[in-house]
A and B are shown apart, each in its own frame.
Chain A
Amino acid sequence: MAVYKFKTPISEEEIRKLRVNDVLYVSGTMFTARDQAHKRALEYFKQGKPLPLTLEGLAVFHCGPIVKKKENRWTIVAAGPTTSTRMEIFEDEFIKNFKVRVIIGKGGMGKRTTEAMVKYGAVYGAFTGGAAILAAKAIKSVKSVEWLDLGMPEAMWILEVEEFGPLAIAIDSHGNNLFEDVKRKVEENKQKIYQKLGLSP
């Protein structure tokens, strides 16, 4: 387990240094995107419409924050991760088209995303679910908000962060997926559990 501190934009070469179980802290620009923002970004790409900012080398955060507007300035109140599996249907295309390098969320992602990470160079960093104030503390400012018509949770919040983490690298660009490993172990433990409860398999 090694600890890395990267600043955006992150290069493919840098991201390929990371292995599962490493810990990463990200500084620089990060943006939030959940189901609706992923969907819209991919639609824009298909139609050749420009996105509000260049996403290459950035970190995308699966998060619907609580944001407060004070004297015309947005501040993040709470910003923990949301369940990433909902974005599995979009993420491979998202990585391929926009070359984002770090996907931050909770609960892990599947085979399609893992394959895209291997092919294009990206990692999945797990942030503790529910640890919304820990996350908010690392967010220094809201640079802008795009697509607010999608509602506060689904809008794209563009954030300036400092040492955002700890992110447990759970999927790396070499095909390792910690969540899949745990899943396999759970499957192995299943018979033992059934036996303990006196259940026939």
Chain B
Amino acid sequence: MVSKAKKYKTRVISTLIHHELLNRGRSLETLSIVEDVAFNLIKQAVIYLPEDVKQVLKKAYAEETSDAGRTQLKAILDNIEFAEKYQAPICQDTGTIIFYVKAGAKAKDLDKIEVALIKATRRATVEVPIRPNAVNPFTQKNSGDNTGRLIPWINWEIVAGDEIEMTVLPKGGGAENTCVMGMLVPGEGIMGVKKFVVDAVMKAGAKPCPPNILGVGIGGGSDIAMKIAKKALLRPLNVSNPDPEIAKLEKEILEAVNMTGIGPMGLGGKITVLSVNIDYAYRHPASYPAAVAFNCWAARRASARISADGTVEYLTHTVK
């Protein structure tokens, strides 16, 4: 198993070097822009929380009534400030590095992006630094650089135009461990989803570092539901689903899960979840897949857009 993986890795690297040699000039330039932007995105994401997340946490601190809960939220807000001041990662678990790439069909050198993202991840591991979080599931060896077979994971989307939009989602392990997917009963419809989500929150309890953000994916298929759920975590917390019926459901579930009493860090309180972000796909008549993706309060994400002329626009953070 190991030697096979090694062979695979060596083959990939030699192919990449070969490609690089063939396409010197412009493509190397693209490679370095994408690499630099991806590096900056990882750095921004792990050190500075997006403004919408900070605002919601401040509001939570104002609204929390339990002493234990307020102590935890105060520590969270202090920690966010310290991270910015010392330019160090908010949380030591800088997660599994996941990228979302919207690639314009007419953008050049799309075949170079994967290498650039891998290089950026390795660089961030040393230079930010972020914690090495990629472990071989057979040998339990940590690769030491946050890369390994299929990691960083890249979600590709081909869109019109010649721009490249990239988002990084450093996904922490604690909240990942409480993610759930279920094949519900079609006859129960949306009622089944409501029960599935509140049950997931009650079962997760203190584990996913509440207050959490919930991405809820409905329909599609078993894998699709979770993909949608996780992607929904990228939606800013001050934006509801554009469909008013779904926005209403988001609010209803948010109120319900905040009646559990789990509270910040599971020490008791009223703020257990900060936001419920729902998205969906059409389903098979016989299936009703649903998934809940948990994100911890350190809901890190960062995005940027690269134009065809190489201009970079950072979308979630001002460049620091």
Using known A-B contacts A179-B266, A199-B195, determine if residue A82 contacts B142 with beta carbons closer than 8 Å.
no
Instruction: For the complex, give the distance between the alpha carbons of A6 and B218 in Å.
Output: 50
Interface string of A173-201 (1 = CB under 8 A from B): 00000110111011101101110111100
Instruction: For the complex, give the distance between the alpha carbons of A107 and B144 in Å.
Output: 27
Contact size class for A?
35 or more
Chain A residues near B72 (CB-CB < 8 A) = 128, 168
Instruction: State whether the Cβ of B177 lies closer than 8 Å to any Cβ in chain A.
Output: yes
Partner-binding segment picked from A50-58, A73-81, A91-99: A73-81
Q: Is the interface of A mostly helix, strand, loop or mixed?
A: mixed
Selected contact of B90 from candidates A83, A130, A153, A181, CB within 8 Å: A130
Using known A-B contacts A83-B207, A126-B267, A132-B89, determine if residue A197 contacts B260 with beta carbons closer than 8 Å.
no
Chain A residues near B266 (CB-CB < 8 A) = 107-108, 179, 182
Instruction: State whether the Cβ of B79 lies closer than 8 Å to any Cβ in chain A.
Output: yes
Instruction: State whether the Cβ of B141 lies closer than 8 Å to any Cβ in chain A.
Output: yes
Whether B205 and A186, one on each chain, are in contact in the complex, defined by CB atoms closer than 8 angstroms, is yes
Using known A-B contacts A153-B131, A166-B71, determine if residue A132 contacts B144 with beta carbons closer than 8 Å.
no
Using known A-B contacts A129-B209, A168-B267, A190-B202, determine if residue A65 contacts B92 with beta carbons closer than 8 Å.
yes
Partner-binding segment picked from A7-15, A114-122, A133-141: A133-141
Instruction: For the complex, give the distance between the alpha carbons of A147 and B297 in Å.
Output: 31
Interface string of A130-156 (1 = CB under 8 A from B): 111110110000000000000111100
Using known A-B contacts A107-B205, A197-B198, determine if residue A128 contacts B261 with beta carbons closer than 8 Å.
no
Interface string of B82-98 (1 = CB under 8 A from A): 11001011111110000
Whether B71 and A133, one on each chain, are in contact in the complex, defined by CB atoms closer than 8 angstroms, is no
Using known A-B contacts A182-B261, A185-B261, A186-B260, determine if residue A132 contacts B132 with beta carbons closer than 8 Å.
no
Interface string of B122-151 (1 = CB under 8 A from A): 000000011111010000111010000000
Chain B residues near A154 (CB-CB < 8 A) = 142
Instruction: For the complex, give the distance between the alpha carbons of A183 and B205 in Å.
Output: 8
Whether B265 and A128, one on each chain, are in contact in the complex, defined by CB atoms closer than 8 angstroms, is yes
Whether A197 and B256, one on each chain, are in contact in the complex, defined by CB atoms closer than 8 angstroms, is yes
Q: Which of B67, B135, B206, B256 has the most CB of A within 10 A?
A: B206
Q: How many A-B contacts at CB < 8 Å in the complex?
A: 172
Selected contact of A66 from candidates B82, B86, B131, CB within 8 Å: B131
Instruction: State whether the Cβ of B228 lies closer than 8 Å to any Cβ in chain A.
Output: no
Interface string of B199-221 (1 = CB under 8 A from A): 00010011101000000000000
Using known A-B contacts A151-B132, A170-B267, determine if residue A133 contacts B259 with beta carbons closer than 8 Å.
no
Give the shortest distance, in Å, between A62 (CB) and chain B (any CB).
11
Chain B residues near A5 (CB-CB < 8 A) = none
Chain B residues near A153 (CB-CB < 8 A) = 131-133, 142
Instruction: State whether the Cβ of B317 lies closer than 8 Å to any Cβ in chain A.
Output: no
Using known A-B contacts A77-B129, A168-B68, determine if residue A130 contacts B261 with beta carbons closer than 8 Å.
no
Whether A82 and B174, one on each chain, are in contact in the complex, defined by CB atoms closer than 8 angstroms, is yes
Whether B261 and A78, one on each chain, are in contact in the complex, defined by CB atoms closer than 8 angstroms, is no
Chain A residues near B142 (CB-CB < 8 A) = 151-154
Instruction: State whether the Cβ of B60 lies closer than 8 Å to any Cβ in chain A.
Output: no
Chain A residues near B262 (CB-CB < 8 A) = 182, 186
Instruction: For the complex, give the distance between the alpha carbons of A185 and B135 in Å.
Output: 37
Give the shortest distance, in Å, between A162 (CB) and chain B (any CB).
16
Instruction: State whether the Cβ of A63 lies closer than 8 Å to any Cβ in chain B.
Output: yes
Whether A193 and B92, one on each chain, are in contact in the complex, defined by CB atoms closer than 8 angstroms, is no
Whether A66 and B94, one on each chain, are in contact in the complex, defined by CB atoms closer than 8 angstroms, is yes
Residue of B nearest to A79 (CB): B92
Selected contact of A198 from candidates B140, B191, B207, B296, CB within 8 Å: B191
Whether A196 and B259, one on each chain, are in contact in the complex, defined by CB atoms closer than 8 angstroms, is yes
CB-contacts of B154-208 with A (<8 A): 172-174, 177, 191, 194-195, 198, 202, 205-207
Whether A134 and B79, one on each chain, are in contact in the complex, defined by CB atoms closer than 8 angstroms, is yes
Chain A residues near B144 (CB-CB < 8 A) = 151-152
Whether B82 and A134, one on each chain, are in contact in the complex, defined by CB atoms closer than 8 angstroms, is yes
Residue of B nearest to A83 (CB): B174
Residue of A nearest to B67 (CB): A1
Selected contact of B79 from candidates A128, A178, A186, CB within 8 Å: A128
Chain B residues near A106 (CB-CB < 8 A) = 174, 206, 209, 265
- 8 closest residue pairs by CB, A with B: A151-B142, A129-B209, A78-B92, A128-B75, A131-B79, A133-B82, A130-B91, A107-B206
A-B contact sample (4 more), CB < 8 A, given A126-B265, A132-B93? A66-B131, A78-B131, A83-B174, A193-B259
